[in-house]
A and B are shown apart, each in its own frame.
Chain A
Amino acid sequence: SQTIHQWPATLVQPVGSPLSLECTVEGTSNPNLYWYRQAAGRGLQLLFYSVGIGQISSEVPQNLSASRPQDRQFILSSKKLLLSDSGFYLCAWSVDGNSNQPQHFGDGTRLSIL
């Protein structure tokens, strides 16, 4: 069966520090991968998605970047965090190219910027 892992679960970082959040998927090949952010009490905002290694689409301009160095690895990064980067970050995967298949989510990373 397929599983998705995100880490760390929680992170407290000072303003201006770098960020690296990692997500890996097991049990499937060539998945679509997604990074979302959820502000406190709010809905989901799609940040990035990827349909293959090295292929990243950005949905909103921001202080963050994403990379996909391997088929089942998706990394969210920042060189300098801002206070507004605080939130709950969720990684998800789906089967490539089929609208009937749902997205499957990791447990999330709660990021607090001080």
Chain B
Amino acid sequence: GNSVTQMEGPVTLSEEAFLTINCTYTATGYPSLFWYVQYPGEGLQLLLKATKADDKGSNKGFEATYRKETTSFHLEKGSVQVSDSAVYFCALSERASNYQLIWGAGTKLIIKP
């Protein structure tokens, strides 16, 4: 079946460091891919998405490229801030799963000043 695997957290970085959070997936067809962010005590917000191979989603300095050859959708940011501390979720959606979101377990990111 479909699944999403994220790197385990917590990931701890210093301010202005480069960020990569790995996400790989298995899917039977051609899924859409999403990154969501959850700030402490809040609901989830859509961060970015990509709907086909080689698409790059970007928002708030974060980027992720849909790589079909490696079935990956890694989240990157060139220079993180303390305010980026949150839990990040990778997810996929495709027709074979009735468009239900298949979620990764989430990666907690801690940015130290």
Residues of chain A touching chain B, judged by Cβ–Cβ distance below 8 Å, are 6, 32, 41-44, 46, 49, 90, 92, 94, 97-100, 102-108, 110
Contact = CB atoms under 8 A, between A and B. Distances in A.
Contact of A44 (B32, B89, B93, B108): B89
Given A43-B104, A99-B93, A99-B94, A90 B43 contact: yes
Question: Which of B42, B94, B95 has most chain A Cβ within 10 Å?
Answer: B42
A32 B100 CA distance: 10
Interface stretch (B45-53, B65-73, B77-85): B45-53
A46 B106 contact: no
B18 interface: no
Which of the four size classes fits the interface of chain B? Answer: 20 to 34
A42 B105 CA distance: 7
A99 B27 CA distance: 13
Contact of A43 (B34, B94, B106): B106
Given A44-B103, A104-B46, 14 more contacts: A6-B43, A32-B99, A43-B89, A46-B100, A49-B100, A90-B44, A98-B99, A99-B51, A99-B93, A99-B99, A102-B36, A103-B46, A105-B43, A110-B41
Interface of B: 31-32, 34, 36, 41-46, 49, 51, 89, 93-95, 99-101, 103-106, 108
Question: Which of B31, B43, B101 has most chain A Cβ within 10 Å?
Answer: B43
Given A43-B105, A49-B100, A99 B31 contact: yes
A42 B34 CA distance: 18
Question: Which of A90, A97, A100 has most chain B Cβ within 10 Å?
Answer: A100
